[in-house]
Amino acid sequence: MMATEGSSVTMPMITTSTFTIETFNIAQTKWSRWVKRLEVAFRVFNVPDELKLPYLLHFMGPEAYDTLCDKLAPDSPDDRTYNEVVQMMDQFYNPCPLEIAEIFRFQSRKQQEGETVQEYYYALQKLSINCKFGEYLKMALRNQFVYGLHSRRIQSRLLETRDLTLDRAVEISTSMEMSERDANQLHRKTNSVDAIVQKDKRRYPNPENKATSRPSNSKTVYNSYNNANKFFCYRCGDNRHLANKCNMIDAICNFCKRKG
């Protein structure tokens, strides 16, 4: 508190004049969480109790303020206390959910296509908030986590694990998911390399295979022309020219990566 000169009247004192907070927006955050941030700011900036209501009415924004006025009409928001306004708006923006409906949503939740194990687990945690599981919470999370897993391989592993806890279930599932993803990536790379090799073999056939694949015929007469054609180019496998006449002499082999 601060006393004015020549007077014993005291005035509320705030540590800084730059107090500010984002206006409440229902599309961006929950009312209860915004109020918690507001009250943290009250402590940081040392806002006295008598100024909390004015700050609340100012920073709640025009839409929330209009809602409050409609609910209080014909009374004015200034006639209520800070706690009364907060509670009234909390009932409006955060109505108490039906427990049975929340449990139904929780038990209907399964891991979605493309959703990681961790994302699925966090979604279950969020859905369990209003289920009032109490001491049964971890068991309920574990059971639903295992039941809703997309991978039957991971699910089978968890079902055969004795004394399975929630933390252990998440740990095993995350590890197996990562191993499965890495194995799939390696398999795709291997298939890609094999496809390239097979393509190169078709483009550049093995000269030895070509030389030994000629059909044999004991009745064939090997004249001088056939004798001339027993030579072949070791660069491309063609039997119509020798290697020093090949137009691939400066080319880089896609298979062995050598020149010529």
Greatest Cα-to-Cα distance within the chain, rounded to the nearest angstrom: 135
Residues 147 and 170 both lie in one domain: yes
Local structure of 47: helix, strand or coil: coil
Nearest to 55 by CA among 43, 72, 67: 43
pLDDT category at 209 given cuts 50, 70, 90 is low
- Rounded Cα gap, residues 51 and 23, in angstroms: 17
Q: Do you know the residue count of the chain?
A: 260
Q: What is the pLDDT of residue 120?
A: 98
End-of-domain residue from the set 51, 76, 93: 93
Residues 113 and 81 in one domain: no
Q: Report the alpha-carbon distance of residue 33 to residue 35 in Å, rounded.
A: 5
Q: Which alpha helices (DSSP H) does the chain contain, by range?
A: 31-44, 49-59, 61-72, 82-93, 99-108, 117-127, 137-147, 152-159, 166-203, 207-212, 224-228
Residues 113 and 239: their CA atoms lie apart, in Å, by: 56
Based on the domain organization, do 89 and 103 belong to the same domain? no
How many domains are contained in the chain?
A: 3
For residue 189, what are the CA distances in angstroms to 100, 192, 194? 49, 5, 9
Instruction: Enter the tokens of residue 255.
Output: 């298979």
Average pLDDT value for residue range 236-250: 73
Residue 45 in contact with residue 14, Cβ under 8 Å? yes
Which domain does 15 fall in, by range? 2-93
Q: Of 15-19, 115-119, 207-211, which range is least confident?
A: 207-211
* More confident: 238 or 115: 115
Q: Are residues 82 and 125 in the same domain?
A: no
Output phi, psi for 10, to 5 deg. Answer: -105, 150
- Judge if 109 and 176 occupy the same domain: yes
Assign 21 to helix, strand or coil.
coil
pLDDT in tens, 106-147: 999 999 999 999 999 999 999 999 999 999 999 999 999 999
81 and 134 in one domain?
Answer: no
Co-location of 112 and 182 in the same domain? yes
